[in-house]
Each structure stands twice: as C-alpha cells, then as structure tokens.
Amino acid sequence: MQERIFENWFEDFTTSISGYDYYVDFDKVVNNVENIKVELNILNSLIGSKNIEKDFENIVKKYPETLSCVPLLLAVRNSEIYAQDDEGEFLYDFKNMNMDLESYKMFMRKTGLFNMIENHLVNNLVDYALGIETGLDSNGRKNRGGHLMEDLVEKYIQDANFKLGQTYFKEINLKDVEDKWGIDLSAISNKGKTVKRFDFVVKTKSHIYAIETNFYSSKGSKLNETARSYKMISQEADTIDGFTFVWFTDGLGWKNAKWNLKETFDVMDNIYNIKEIKSGIMNKIFV
C-alpha cells in the first residue's frame, strides 16, 4: 500500500455525515408525548386558572397520575426531583407520591410552573411538551453521530461480501473473541483485567480484525484520550499473531486534537478515514 502522508490524509476529512433524521427523532418525540397526552390534557384545564393551587389540588386528588407529567414540564427525565432552599431539602417523587399535596403545590409554585400556567404563558401543555421533548432529543445527536459512523462502516463491510454473524460480528466483547476463536488477547485486556468491546470484528480464513469506529463533528477532551487509547491498543495488537486492530475515524472535530491523532497515525498502519472507506479499503485490508 502506498505510503500515506498525515497532512494529505487529514485534509480529506469529512465535514459531516448527518442525514435528515440526525437532528431530531420525531417518532420518538411524538411517542413520548403520546404516552402522557391524556394526563397533559387534564392539566390543560389549569391554564388561566384564577385559583390554580386549589384547582391543582382537586385534579391531583382525582387524577393522581397527572403528577407524572410534571418533571417533563421542567425538561427533566427522572421521576424524582431534588430541590433545596432556606426551608429545607426535598426529594419529590412524581411517580409514587412521597409527600403531601401541600409540598407538591409548593414545588409547582417555587419552580415557576404555576406562574407559567395560570398566566397563560403557554396555550397548550401538549404542544409545550412536544417542544421540550424536541429539545431533549437534540441532546441525543452525539449518540446518533456515533451510530451513523457505525452504519456507514457496516455498509462497506457488507459491500466487501462479509456476512453478519458469519464473517463479521457487531458489538462483540474481547472475551467473546478469545472464546470464539481461541486467541489470547491478554496483551490488550491487561491480562483479563480490562473489559473491552469492539464495534465490529471481521474474521477471514487466517486473521481476526477488531474494529473501532467514530466520527467527531465537534471538539472535546475525549478526542485526545481516544487517540492515546487506540494508539496503545494498536501497539499491543501488533504483538498478537493473527490479530489486527483497525480504526475508522473522521470528522472536523479532530482539528483541535490533530497532533494527538498524528501521533497515533504515525505508529498505526490501520487507521482510515471515510474517503478511504468509500475508495474500497475494506477489500485491501481484510485478507
């Protein structure tokens, strides 16, 4: 294989691999709100209330399940919320009431939820919840970005005629690799003390390829740690006969960790970007 120059290789990095469904998973958003839509509509009767604390009390007494909606109105996923002030420390359970109604009314008042609802700052709590769910779901983009790279790599593994469950495997633990093919990977696992899972493992007639994939669209401290970690795994893998560590990575987030990536590139033969993946590198390395 032709010798690669880091600067040239790095210039080929991709800006983004985001599809249209990367930004918000609306199916998930809508489903989450549908699950509490009835309860939210009951609470809608509080909008514009002239006596919201009494009306809230009556609703919770008759429909205690409406309390479960409250955390979402504050963009909180958990059913338990901790709060403290000069009056003390409180842990509110909105799934199984652990306090009296006066305490929950205090919570609604002090968090500003009563003010928002009674002063008609929102017109419909279902629509409001959809907006919150959309915002919360945007936090999942990082995970979706990782899966996008996995999906891209898997597509080209398949295009190279490897079959899932036969000649390539997904999310397989290092220990399972050892057991399945009778290979000693203690050099990587620190003699069995470290638990490691690979994104993919490709198995040819005479070789095992352990694969990690990632795509970084933004900077972060994790990139330097990842580069150092994969450099070490690669060096350890080089001591094992019949085994190779392969890393597919890309993304302009690497700009701020460029030199750490270069250190790994300089010692790791099997590190590739998306351009190389699309150029048929799978057929050249998996032999």
What average pLDDT does this structure show over 177-192? 89
Q: Domain check: are 179 and 249 in the same one?
A: yes
Tokens 């032709």 belong to: 2
What is the pLDDT of the chain when averaged over all its residues? 93
Q: Domain check: are 133 and 160 in the same one?
A: no
Residue 28 domain-assigned? Answer: no
Name the domain boundary from 112, 138, 164: 138
Residue 210: which domain range?
Answer: 6-20+141-285
List, in order, residues 6 or more apart from 274 with CB less than 8 Å away.
13, 14, 17, 152, 215, 248, 250
pLDDT of res. 145:
64
Residue 118 domain-assigned? Answer: yes
Q: Domain check: are 119 and 159 in the same one?
A: no
Q: Domain check: are 93 and 152 in the same one?
A: no
- The DSSP string of 159-189 is HTT--BTTTEEEEEEHHHHHHHHT---HHHH
Residue 143 pLDDT > 90, yes or no? no
Encode pLDDT of 95-113 as tens digits: 999 999 999 999 999 999 9
Name the domain boundary from 138, 164, 194: 138
B/e letters for 14-43, b = 16+ CB within 10 Å, e = fewer, are beebeeeebebbeeebeebbeebbebbebb
Q: Domain check: are 219 and 134 in the same one?
A: no
Encode pLDDT of 211-267 as tens digits: 999 999 888 778 999 999 999 999 999 999 999 999 999 999 999 999 999 999 999
Identify the three-state secondary structure at position 77. Answer: coil
pLDDT of res. 1:
55
Dihedrals phi, psi of 163, to nearest 5 degrees:
-110, 130
Encode pLDDT of 3-17 as tens digits: 899 999 999 999 998
Q: Could you tell me what percent of the chain has a pLDDT over 70?
A: 96
β-pairing verdict for 168-173 and 197-203:
antiparallel
Q: Domain check: are 132 and 155 in the same one?
A: no
Name the domain boundary from 103, 122, 138: 138
Residue 132 pLDDT > 70, yes or no? yes
Residue 1 domain-assigned? Answer: no
